[in-house]
Amino acid sequence: GAVVSQHPSRVICKSGTSVKIECRSLDFQATTMFWYRQFPKQSLMLMATSNEGSKATYEQGVEKDKFLINHASLTLSTLTVTSAHPEDSSFYICSARISGTGTSPLHFGNGTRLTVT
């Protein structure tokens, strides 16, 4: 149980274009989802907290107009990287916690490898 699915797993796009990444909780509902970014050989850095039916909360230094988050339902959050640049190339990982479980583990998707050329 508690499976989080991300799509696509890999994407290559040209500089200046936008890319949408989907994160779905397959067998549970998630009021809140979290988006992380990870550069090679580094830790996961929290980008934003995605809240179902309301605006996302962004971490300091993360541009909300560049990384658009939409959490339209209890099982789907999307991250859109707008006007992508090569420095946005990274591994983006979403996670979710089963609603109503309080303090409990986050379940992670398998990430999306974004390469901007």
Partner 1 sequence: GESVGLHLPTLSVQEGDNSIINCAYSNSASDYFIWYKQESGKGPQFIIDIRSNMDKRQGQRVTVLLNKTVKHLSLQIAATQPGDSAVYFCAENMDQGGKLIFGQGTELSVKP
Q: Which is nearer to partner 1, 48 or 84 (CB)?
A: 48
The answer to whether residues 2 and 107 touch, using CB atoms and an 8 Å cutoff, is yes
Alpha-carbon distance values, 97 to 11, 25, 42 (Å): 26, 9, 23
Determine the straight-line distance between the first and last CA of the chain, rounded to whole angstroms: 37
What is the closest distance, in whole angstroms, from the C-beta atom of residue 51 to partner 1 in the complex?
A: 9
Q: Which is nearer to partner 1, 79 or 93 (CB)?
A: 93
**Residue 34 · residue 54 · CB < 8 Å:** no
Between 38 and 82, CB nearer to partner 1: 38
- 15 vs 42 by CB, closer to partner 1: 42
Specify the 3-state DSSP secondary structure of 14. Answer: coil
Work out how close the CB of 66 gets to partner 1 at its nearest, in angstroms, rounded to a whole number. Answer: 17
Q: Tokens at residue 7, please?
A: 């799509």
* Nearest distance from C-beta of residue 93 to partner 1, angstroms: 5
Binding interface with partner 1 (CB under 8 A): 4, 6, 32, 34, 36, 41-46, 49, 57, 59-60, 93, 95, 97, 103-111, 113
Please, what is the minimum distance in Å from the beta carbon of residue 58 to partner 1? 12
- Give which of 25, 39, 115 is closest to 72, Cα–Cα: 25
